[in-house]
Structure 1
Amino acid sequence: MYRKKIQRKVFFITKHGFSNKERLYRIWRNMRRRCNSPKSDYYYNYGGRGIKVCDEWDDYLNFRKWALRNGYSEELSIDRINVDGNYEPSNCRWATREEQANNARSNVNLTYKGVTKTATGWARTLGITKSTMFHRLDRSWTIEEIMTIPMGGRRTKESPKAKVYLYNGKFKTLKQLSKIKGIHPDTIRHRIKIGMKIEEAATKPLSKNQFA
Protein backbone atom coordinates (compact mmCIF):
# COMPACT_ATOMS: atom_id res chain seq x y z
CA MET A 1 0.00 0.00 0.00
CA TYR A 2 2.83 2.38 0.82
CA ARG A 3 4.50 1.64 -2.53
CA LYS A 4 1.30 2.40 -4.47
CA LYS A 5 0.93 5.73 -2.69
CA ILE A 6 4.47 6.70 -3.71
CA GLN A 7 3.77 5.73 -7.35
CA ARG A 8 0.60 7.82 -7.52
CA LYS A 9 2.46 10.82 -6.15
CA VAL A 10 5.27 10.48 -8.70
CA PHE A 11 2.70 10.19 -11.53
CA PHE A 12 0.97 13.35 -10.36
CA ILE A 13 4.19 15.37 -10.36
CA THR A 14 5.17 14.02 -13.78
CA LYS A 15 1.76 14.86 -15.30
CA HIS A 16 1.42 18.45 -14.11
CA GLY A 17 4.97 19.38 -13.27
CA PHE A 18 3.87 20.78 -9.89
CA SER A 19 3.48 19.22 -6.47
CA ASN A 20 0.07 19.06 -4.79
CA LYS A 21 1.77 20.96 -1.96
CA GLU A 22 1.53 24.08 -4.11
CA ARG A 23 -1.18 26.37 -2.67
CA LEU A 24 -2.32 27.53 -6.10
CA TYR A 25 -2.97 23.96 -7.17
CA ARG A 26 -5.09 23.35 -4.05
CA ILE A 27 -7.12 26.49 -4.82
CA TRP A 28 -7.77 25.19 -8.34
CA ARG A 29 -8.67 21.70 -7.10
CA ASN A 30 -11.06 22.99 -4.43
CA MET A 31 -12.66 25.45 -6.89
CA ARG A 32 -13.48 22.60 -9.27
CA ARG A 33 -14.66 20.34 -6.45
CA ARG A 34 -17.14 22.96 -5.18
CA CYS A 35 -18.62 23.26 -8.66
CA ASN A 36 -18.44 19.66 -9.89
CA SER A 37 -18.78 17.28 -6.94
CA PRO A 38 -22.09 16.88 -5.07
CA LYS A 39 -20.02 15.25 -2.31
CA SER A 40 -18.38 18.61 -1.53
CA ASP A 41 -19.67 20.32 1.63
CA TYR A 42 -19.99 23.53 -0.35
CA TYR A 43 -21.52 22.16 -3.56
CA TYR A 44 -24.99 23.45 -2.60
CA ASN A 45 -23.71 27.03 -2.79
CA TYR A 46 -21.73 26.59 -6.04
CA GLY A 47 -22.47 23.73 -8.43
CA GLY A 48 -25.89 23.39 -6.83
CA ARG A 49 -26.64 26.98 -7.89
CA GLY A 50 -25.41 26.40 -11.44
CA ILE A 51 -21.98 27.98 -10.98
CA LYS A 52 -19.34 26.40 -13.23
CA VAL A 53 -15.62 26.52 -13.95
CA CYS A 54 -14.92 27.64 -17.53
CA ASP A 55 -13.54 25.07 -19.98
CA GLU A 56 -10.22 26.92 -20.21
CA TRP A 57 -9.59 26.39 -16.49
CA ASP A 58 -10.21 22.66 -16.64
CA ASP A 59 -6.49 22.61 -17.41
CA TYR A 60 -4.51 23.57 -14.30
CA LEU A 61 -1.65 25.06 -16.32
CA ASN A 62 -4.02 27.57 -17.96
CA PHE A 63 -5.41 28.54 -14.56
CA ARG A 64 -1.92 28.87 -13.09
CA LYS A 65 -0.75 31.08 -15.95
CA TRP A 66 -3.78 33.38 -15.51
CA ALA A 67 -3.26 33.56 -11.73
CA LEU A 68 0.40 34.55 -11.89
CA ARG A 69 -0.32 37.22 -14.50
CA ASN A 70 -3.23 38.71 -12.55
CA GLY A 71 -1.97 39.49 -9.07
CA TYR A 72 -1.89 36.13 -7.27
CA SER A 73 -0.02 36.06 -3.95
CA GLU A 74 0.02 33.73 -0.95
CA GLU A 75 -2.12 36.13 1.11
CA LEU A 76 -5.00 36.29 -1.39
CA SER A 77 -7.83 33.98 -2.46
CA ILE A 78 -9.80 33.73 -5.67
CA ASP A 79 -12.94 35.88 -5.72
CA ARG A 80 -15.81 36.09 -8.21
CA ILE A 81 -16.72 39.71 -8.95
CA ASN A 82 -20.32 38.70 -9.69
CA VAL A 83 -21.14 36.15 -6.99
CA ASP A 84 -23.78 34.59 -9.24
CA GLY A 85 -21.34 34.22 -12.15
CA ASN A 86 -18.93 31.46 -13.13
CA TYR A 87 -15.26 30.96 -12.41
CA GLU A 88 -13.70 32.49 -15.53
CA PRO A 89 -11.03 35.11 -16.28
CA SER A 90 -13.49 37.96 -16.86
CA ASN A 91 -15.27 37.37 -13.53
CA CYS A 92 -12.42 36.56 -11.17
CA ARG A 93 -9.77 38.42 -9.21
CA TRP A 94 -7.47 37.87 -6.23
CA ALA A 95 -8.74 39.41 -3.00
CA THR A 96 -8.31 39.45 0.77
CA ARG A 97 -10.89 37.78 3.01
CA GLU A 98 -12.34 41.15 3.95
CA GLU A 99 -12.68 42.17 0.29
CA GLN A 100 -14.39 38.86 -0.46
CA ALA A 101 -16.83 39.32 2.40
CA ASN A 102 -17.68 42.86 1.27
CA ASN A 103 -18.15 41.68 -2.32
CA ALA A 104 -20.53 38.90 -1.26
CA ARG A 105 -22.57 41.28 0.89
CA SER A 106 -22.65 43.97 -1.82
CA ASN A 107 -24.14 41.49 -4.28
CA VAL A 108 -26.98 40.32 -2.04
CA ASN A 109 -30.26 40.84 -3.92
CA LEU A 110 -33.16 42.48 -2.11
CA THR A 111 -36.70 42.65 -3.49
CA TYR A 112 -39.12 45.34 -2.35
CA LYS A 113 -42.53 45.99 -3.90
CA GLY A 114 -41.63 43.95 -6.95
CA VAL A 115 -38.29 45.67 -7.59
CA THR A 116 -35.03 43.72 -7.17
CA LYS A 117 -31.64 45.39 -6.73
CA THR A 118 -28.36 44.58 -5.03
CA ALA A 119 -27.85 45.84 -1.47
CA THR A 120 -25.50 48.55 -2.72
CA GLY A 121 -27.99 49.50 -5.42
CA TRP A 122 -30.73 49.97 -2.83
CA ALA A 123 -28.35 51.97 -0.62
CA ARG A 124 -27.86 54.47 -3.47
CA THR A 125 -31.60 54.61 -4.15
CA LEU A 126 -32.46 55.18 -0.48
CA GLY A 127 -29.69 57.73 0.06
CA ILE A 128 -28.03 55.76 2.85
CA THR A 129 -24.41 54.64 3.11
CA LYS A 130 -23.30 51.11 2.30
CA SER A 131 -22.13 50.66 5.91
CA THR A 132 -25.64 51.56 7.12
CA MET A 133 -27.17 49.05 4.71
CA PHE A 134 -24.80 46.28 5.85
CA HIS A 135 -25.45 47.15 9.50
CA ARG A 136 -29.18 46.71 8.93
CA LEU A 137 -28.65 43.39 7.14
CA ASP A 138 -26.30 42.13 9.86
CA ARG A 139 -28.87 43.05 12.52
CA SER A 140 -31.66 41.19 10.67
CA TRP A 141 -33.82 44.20 9.91
CA THR A 142 -36.94 43.31 7.96
CA ILE A 143 -37.15 44.46 4.33
CA GLU A 144 -39.84 46.98 5.33
CA GLU A 145 -37.61 48.46 8.03
CA ILE A 146 -34.61 48.66 5.69
CA MET A 147 -36.59 50.49 3.03
CA THR A 148 -38.65 52.89 5.14
CA ILE A 149 -36.50 53.99 8.09
CA PRO A 150 -34.34 57.00 7.12
CA MET A 151 -30.59 57.32 7.63
CA GLY A 152 -29.89 57.55 11.36
CA GLY A 153 -33.36 56.26 12.26
CA ARG A 154 -34.00 53.43 14.71
CA ARG A 155 -36.41 50.55 14.85
CA THR A 156 -39.21 50.87 17.39
CA LYS A 157 -38.72 47.22 18.35
CA GLU A 158 -36.37 44.36 17.59
CA SER A 159 -37.15 42.30 14.53
CA PRO A 160 -38.90 39.06 15.60
CA LYS A 161 -37.08 37.15 12.88
CA ALA A 162 -33.47 36.43 13.87
CA LYS A 163 -30.97 35.78 11.10
CA VAL A 164 -30.10 32.10 10.74
CA TYR A 165 -27.01 30.32 9.39
CA LEU A 166 -26.58 26.83 7.97
CA TYR A 167 -24.34 24.85 10.33
CA ASN A 168 -23.79 21.09 9.90
CA GLY A 169 -26.97 20.81 7.86
CA LYS A 170 -29.18 22.70 10.35
CA PHE A 171 -30.21 26.35 10.56
CA LYS A 172 -29.11 28.09 13.77
CA THR A 173 -29.20 31.64 15.12
CA LEU A 174 -26.07 33.37 16.41
CA LYS A 175 -27.26 32.76 19.96
CA GLN A 176 -27.55 29.03 19.26
CA LEU A 177 -24.13 28.98 17.56
CA SER A 178 -22.58 30.73 20.56
CA LYS A 179 -23.51 27.79 22.79
CA ILE A 180 -21.41 25.33 20.76
CA LYS A 181 -18.04 26.60 22.04
CA GLY A 182 -19.14 29.41 24.35
CA ILE A 183 -18.12 32.14 21.89
CA HIS A 184 -20.05 35.41 22.10
CA PRO A 185 -22.54 36.03 19.26
CA ASP A 186 -20.85 39.36 18.39
CA THR A 187 -17.51 37.57 17.98
CA ILE A 188 -19.10 35.03 15.62
CA ARG A 189 -20.84 37.83 13.68
CA HIS A 190 -17.52 39.67 13.27
CA ARG A 191 -15.75 36.53 12.08
CA ILE A 192 -18.44 35.91 9.47
CA LYS A 193 -18.20 39.55 8.41
CA ILE A 194 -14.46 39.25 7.65
CA GLY A 195 -15.00 36.12 5.57
CA MET A 196 -14.71 33.12 7.91
CA LYS A 197 -16.76 30.06 7.08
CA ILE A 198 -19.59 29.57 9.57
CA GLU A 199 -18.08 26.32 10.93
CA GLU A 200 -14.78 28.04 11.73
CA ALA A 201 -16.44 31.20 13.08
CA ALA A 202 -18.48 29.22 15.61
CA THR A 203 -15.75 26.84 16.80
CA LYS A 204 -12.29 28.45 16.41
CA PRO A 205 -10.78 28.92 19.91
CA LEU A 206 -10.26 32.47 21.10
CA SER A 207 -6.71 33.78 21.33
CA LYS A 208 -5.35 34.62 24.76
CA ASN A 209 -6.07 38.34 24.39
CA GLN A 210 -9.68 37.83 23.29
CA PHE A 211 -12.80 37.51 25.36
CA ALA A 212 -15.78 35.30 24.58
Structure 2
Amino acid sequence: MRVSECYPGLKVGYLILLEKTHLIVAGHNRTAYKCKCDCGKIVTRTALSLHPNAHCGASFHNRKYYHPDGMSKDGFRKVYTTWYKIKSRCEDPNDKDYHNYGARGITLCDEWHELNNFVKWYWEESNHEILSPKYQTVDRIDVNKGYSPTNCRLLTMVQQSNNKRTNKIVEIDGEKLTYSEAARKYNIKKDTVRWRYLHGKRGWDLVDHHDSSKVYVFIDGEEMTLKEISEAYNIPITTLYHWRKHKKDRCEFETKVHNYKEEQSIEHEQELQLS
Protein backbone atom coordinates (compact mmCIF):
# COMPACT_ATOMS: atom_id res chain seq x y z
CA MET A 1 0.00 0.00 0.00
CA ARG A 2 1.04 3.61 -0.47
CA VAL A 3 2.17 5.51 2.60
CA SER A 4 -0.53 8.11 1.98
CA GLU A 5 -3.22 5.40 2.24
CA CYS A 6 -2.13 4.21 5.70
CA TYR A 7 -3.31 5.60 9.02
CA PRO A 8 -3.79 4.32 12.62
CA GLY A 9 -6.99 2.29 12.98
CA LEU A 10 -6.98 1.04 9.38
CA LYS A 11 -7.42 -2.72 9.01
CA VAL A 12 -5.44 -4.42 6.27
CA GLY A 13 -5.92 -8.16 5.98
CA TYR A 14 -5.53 -9.58 9.48
CA LEU A 15 -3.68 -6.50 10.75
CA ILE A 16 -4.92 -3.35 12.46
CA LEU A 17 -2.52 -0.38 12.19
CA LEU A 18 -1.76 1.03 15.63
CA GLU A 19 0.87 3.73 15.24
CA LYS A 20 3.34 5.07 12.71
CA THR A 21 7.02 4.19 13.07
CA HIS A 22 10.09 3.41 10.93
CA LEU A 23 12.08 0.35 9.90
CA ILE A 24 15.54 0.06 8.43
CA VAL A 25 15.26 -2.06 5.26
CA ALA A 26 18.39 -2.74 3.21
CA GLY A 27 20.03 0.27 4.79
CA HIS A 28 17.12 2.58 4.03
CA ASN A 29 14.75 4.20 6.50
CA ARG A 30 11.21 3.08 5.54
CA THR A 31 7.87 4.31 6.83
CA ALA A 32 6.23 1.50 8.83
CA TYR A 33 3.37 0.83 11.23
CA LYS A 34 3.15 -1.09 14.45
CA CYS A 35 0.24 -3.50 13.88
CA LYS A 36 -1.89 -5.89 15.91
CA CYS A 37 -2.86 -9.17 14.26
CA ASP A 38 -6.25 -10.85 14.80
CA CYS A 39 -4.41 -13.58 16.68
CA GLY A 40 -3.19 -10.97 19.19
CA LYS A 41 0.44 -10.75 18.10
CA ILE A 42 2.05 -7.30 17.72
CA VAL A 43 4.29 -6.85 14.66
CA THR A 44 5.84 -4.02 12.67
CA ARG A 45 5.29 -3.85 8.92
CA THR A 46 6.41 -1.34 6.28
CA ALA A 47 3.62 0.40 4.45
CA LEU A 48 4.72 -1.18 1.15
CA SER A 49 4.44 -4.72 2.60
CA LEU A 50 0.80 -4.29 3.61
CA HIS A 51 -1.62 -6.12 1.31
CA PRO A 52 -5.22 -7.49 1.47
CA ASN A 53 -4.04 -10.77 3.08
CA ALA A 54 -1.39 -9.29 5.40
CA HIS A 55 -0.90 -11.07 8.74
CA CYS A 56 1.66 -11.56 11.51
CA GLY A 57 3.42 -14.40 9.70
CA ALA A 58 1.97 -17.31 11.70
CA SER A 59 1.56 -20.34 9.47
CA PHE A 60 -2.06 -21.00 10.44
CA HIS A 61 -3.12 -17.75 8.74
CA ASN A 62 -2.14 -19.30 5.41
CA ARG A 63 -4.41 -22.30 5.88
CA LYS A 64 -7.91 -22.33 4.54
CA TYR A 65 -9.43 -22.42 8.03
CA TYR A 66 -12.07 -20.12 9.44
CA HIS A 67 -10.40 -17.81 11.95
CA PRO A 68 -12.89 -15.46 13.69
CA ASP A 69 -11.86 -11.92 14.59
CA GLY A 70 -10.70 -11.98 18.18
CA MET A 71 -9.72 -15.66 18.30
CA SER A 72 -6.04 -15.92 19.16
CA LYS A 73 -3.59 -18.36 17.66
CA ASP A 74 -3.54 -20.26 20.95
CA GLY A 75 -7.35 -20.31 21.06
CA PHE A 76 -7.53 -21.69 17.52
CA ARG A 77 -5.03 -24.39 18.46
CA LYS A 78 -7.20 -25.43 21.43
CA VAL A 79 -10.31 -25.68 19.26
CA TYR A 80 -8.43 -27.62 16.60
CA THR A 81 -7.05 -30.04 19.21
CA THR A 82 -10.56 -30.62 20.59
CA TRP A 83 -11.93 -31.30 17.09
CA TYR A 84 -9.06 -33.63 16.21
CA LYS A 85 -9.48 -35.71 19.39
CA ILE A 86 -13.26 -36.02 18.87
CA LYS A 87 -12.73 -37.14 15.29
CA SER A 88 -10.03 -39.60 16.34
CA ARG A 89 -11.96 -41.35 19.10
CA CYS A 90 -15.02 -41.65 16.88
CA GLU A 91 -13.27 -42.91 13.73
CA ASP A 92 -9.80 -44.25 14.53
CA PRO A 93 -9.85 -47.87 15.84
CA ASN A 94 -6.29 -47.33 17.10
CA ASP A 95 -7.35 -44.49 19.41
CA LYS A 96 -7.21 -45.51 23.08
CA ASP A 97 -10.80 -44.25 23.63
CA TYR A 98 -12.32 -45.72 20.46
CA HIS A 99 -14.01 -48.56 22.37
CA ASN A 100 -16.05 -45.99 24.36
CA TYR A 101 -17.03 -43.95 21.30
CA GLY A 102 -16.69 -45.26 17.75
CA ALA A 103 -17.19 -48.87 18.83
CA ARG A 104 -20.42 -47.83 20.60
CA GLY A 105 -21.75 -46.13 17.49
CA ILE A 106 -20.84 -42.58 18.54
CA THR A 107 -20.11 -40.63 15.35
CA LEU A 108 -19.02 -37.18 14.19
CA CYS A 109 -21.71 -35.58 12.02
CA ASP A 110 -21.00 -34.75 8.37
CA GLU A 111 -21.21 -31.01 9.08
CA TRP A 112 -18.40 -31.20 11.62
CA HIS A 113 -16.10 -33.16 9.36
CA GLU A 114 -15.37 -29.69 8.00
CA LEU A 115 -13.21 -28.00 10.64
CA ASN A 116 -14.46 -24.52 9.73
CA ASN A 117 -18.00 -25.44 10.75
CA PHE A 118 -16.83 -26.79 14.09
CA VAL A 119 -14.75 -23.65 14.77
CA LYS A 120 -17.75 -21.39 14.04
CA TRP A 121 -19.96 -23.39 16.40
CA TYR A 122 -17.33 -23.47 19.15
CA TRP A 123 -16.63 -19.73 18.87
CA GLU A 124 -20.29 -18.80 19.26
CA GLU A 125 -21.02 -21.42 21.96
CA SER A 126 -18.11 -20.16 24.07
CA ASN A 127 -19.30 -16.53 23.81
CA HIS A 128 -16.00 -15.69 22.12
CA GLU A 129 -13.93 -16.90 25.08
CA ILE A 130 -11.74 -19.94 24.43
CA LEU A 131 -10.55 -21.63 27.62
CA SER A 132 -8.09 -24.45 28.02
CA PRO A 133 -9.51 -27.95 27.35
CA LYS A 134 -8.71 -28.52 31.02
CA TYR A 135 -11.56 -26.14 31.90
CA GLN A 136 -13.83 -26.18 28.83
CA THR A 137 -14.99 -29.29 27.01
CA VAL A 138 -17.55 -30.44 24.43
CA ASP A 139 -20.35 -32.43 26.08
CA ARG A 140 -22.99 -34.57 24.39
CA ILE A 141 -26.49 -33.88 25.75
CA ASP A 142 -27.63 -37.43 24.90
CA VAL A 143 -24.68 -39.70 25.68
CA ASN A 144 -26.00 -42.36 23.31
CA LYS A 145 -25.94 -40.04 20.29
CA GLY A 146 -23.02 -38.63 18.32
CA TYR A 147 -21.30 -35.27 18.05
CA SER A 148 -23.42 -32.66 16.25
CA PRO A 149 -24.50 -29.03 16.82
CA THR A 150 -27.92 -30.13 18.08
CA ASN A 151 -26.57 -32.69 20.56
CA CYS A 152 -23.54 -30.83 21.94
CA ARG A 153 -22.81 -27.98 24.34
CA LEU A 154 -19.75 -26.52 26.04
CA LEU A 155 -19.32 -27.27 29.73
CA THR A 156 -16.67 -26.81 32.36
CA MET A 157 -14.86 -29.95 33.50
CA VAL A 158 -16.85 -29.97 36.76
CA GLN A 159 -20.14 -29.86 34.84
CA GLN A 160 -18.86 -32.52 32.47
CA SER A 161 -17.90 -34.89 35.29
CA ASN A 162 -21.40 -34.53 36.76
CA ASN A 163 -22.85 -35.72 33.46
CA LYS A 164 -21.12 -39.11 33.27
CA ARG A 165 -23.22 -42.23 32.74
CA THR A 166 -21.62 -43.84 35.80
CA ASN A 167 -22.65 -41.09 38.22
CA LYS A 168 -25.00 -42.00 41.05
CA ILE A 169 -27.88 -39.57 41.57
CA VAL A 170 -29.27 -38.92 45.05
CA GLU A 171 -32.23 -36.78 46.07
CA ILE A 172 -32.01 -34.25 48.89
CA ASP A 173 -34.94 -31.99 49.71
CA GLY A 174 -36.45 -32.68 46.29
CA GLU A 175 -33.23 -31.81 44.43
CA LYS A 176 -31.38 -34.45 42.41
CA LEU A 177 -27.60 -34.29 42.82
CA THR A 178 -24.53 -36.42 42.18
CA TYR A 179 -22.32 -37.44 45.10
CA SER A 180 -19.87 -34.66 44.18
CA GLU A 181 -22.55 -31.98 43.83
CA ALA A 182 -24.09 -32.93 47.19
CA ALA A 183 -20.67 -32.90 48.85
CA ARG A 184 -19.82 -29.43 47.50
CA LYS A 185 -23.22 -27.94 48.25
CA TYR A 186 -23.41 -29.16 51.86
CA ASN A 187 -19.68 -28.94 52.65
CA ILE A 188 -19.18 -32.61 53.39
CA LYS A 189 -16.82 -35.26 52.05
CA LYS A 190 -17.88 -37.07 48.88
CA ASP A 191 -16.81 -40.41 50.36
CA THR A 192 -19.04 -39.76 53.37
CA VAL A 193 -22.07 -39.22 51.11
CA ARG A 194 -21.27 -42.39 49.17
CA TRP A 195 -20.75 -44.48 52.31
CA ARG A 196 -24.03 -43.33 53.85
CA TYR A 197 -25.95 -44.01 50.64
CA LEU A 198 -24.52 -47.54 50.37
CA HIS A 199 -25.54 -48.13 53.98
CA GLY A 200 -29.16 -47.17 53.44
CA LYS A 201 -29.18 -43.48 54.30
CA ARG A 202 -31.39 -41.21 52.21
CA GLY A 203 -32.31 -37.52 51.98
CA TRP A 204 -30.89 -35.23 54.65
CA ASP A 205 -29.21 -38.15 56.41
CA LEU A 206 -26.71 -38.24 53.51
CA VAL A 207 -25.35 -34.76 54.26
CA ASP A 208 -26.07 -34.22 57.96
CA HIS A 209 -22.80 -33.11 59.58
CA HIS A 210 -23.58 -34.70 62.95
CA ASP A 211 -21.59 -31.89 64.51
CA SER A 212 -22.08 -32.47 68.22
CA SER A 213 -20.20 -29.30 69.13
CA LYS A 214 -22.85 -27.11 67.46
CA VAL A 215 -26.05 -28.85 68.60
CA TYR A 216 -27.42 -27.18 71.75
CA VAL A 217 -30.06 -28.60 74.13
CA PHE A 218 -31.23 -27.76 77.68
CA ILE A 219 -30.49 -30.06 80.59
CA ASP A 220 -31.80 -28.94 84.00
CA GLY A 221 -32.23 -25.42 82.65
CA GLU A 222 -28.65 -25.21 81.38
CA GLU A 223 -27.84 -24.91 77.69
CA MET A 224 -25.25 -27.53 76.69
CA THR A 225 -23.83 -29.05 73.52
CA LEU A 226 -24.10 -32.78 72.89
CA LYS A 227 -20.35 -33.00 73.38
CA GLU A 228 -20.61 -31.37 76.82
CA ILE A 229 -23.52 -33.67 77.78
CA SER A 230 -21.53 -36.69 76.64
CA GLU A 231 -18.61 -35.74 78.86
CA ALA A 232 -20.77 -34.75 81.85
CA TYR A 233 -23.10 -37.79 81.85
CA ASN A 234 -20.75 -40.34 80.22
CA ILE A 235 -23.17 -40.98 77.36
CA PRO A 236 -21.84 -41.85 73.88
CA ILE A 237 -22.15 -39.03 71.32
CA THR A 238 -23.88 -41.33 68.83
CA THR A 239 -26.53 -42.19 71.42
CA LEU A 240 -27.17 -38.52 72.17
CA TYR A 241 -27.40 -37.67 68.49
CA HIS A 242 -29.93 -40.46 67.96
CA TRP A 243 -32.06 -39.22 70.85
CA ARG A 244 -31.83 -35.61 69.64
CA LYS A 245 -32.96 -36.63 66.18
CA HIS A 246 -35.93 -38.74 67.24
CA LYS A 247 -36.94 -37.06 70.52
CA LYS A 248 -38.05 -33.64 69.32
CA ASP A 249 -39.60 -32.72 72.68
CA ARG A 250 -37.04 -31.12 75.02
CA CYS A 251 -38.47 -32.74 78.14
CA GLU A 252 -38.44 -36.17 76.54
CA PHE A 253 -34.77 -35.77 75.62
CA GLU A 254 -33.92 -34.55 79.12
CA THR A 255 -35.74 -37.53 80.64
CA LYS A 256 -33.73 -39.93 78.48
CA VAL A 257 -30.49 -38.39 79.70
CA HIS A 258 -31.46 -38.65 83.40
CA ASN A 259 -32.79 -42.20 83.01
CA TYR A 260 -29.56 -43.23 81.34
CA LYS A 261 -27.57 -41.78 84.26
CA GLU A 262 -29.76 -43.59 86.79
CA GLU A 263 -29.48 -46.88 84.91
CA GLN A 264 -25.70 -46.52 84.84
CA SER A 265 -25.66 -45.84 88.61
CA ILE A 266 -27.81 -48.91 89.33
CA GLU A 267 -25.61 -51.11 87.17
CA HIS A 268 -22.53 -49.77 88.92
CA GLU A 269 -24.00 -50.56 92.39
CA GLN A 270 -24.93 -54.08 91.29
CA GLU A 271 -21.40 -54.67 90.07
CA LEU A 272 -20.03 -53.51 93.43
CA GLN A 273 -22.36 -55.85 95.33
CA LEU A 274 -21.38 -58.80 93.16
CA SER A 275 -17.73 -58.06 93.70
TM-score when normalising by structure 2:
0.38
TM-score when normalising by structure 1:
0.47
Return the index of the structure with the highest Cα Rg.
Answer: 2
Where relative contact order (Cα < 8 A, 6+ residues apart) is larger, the structure is 1
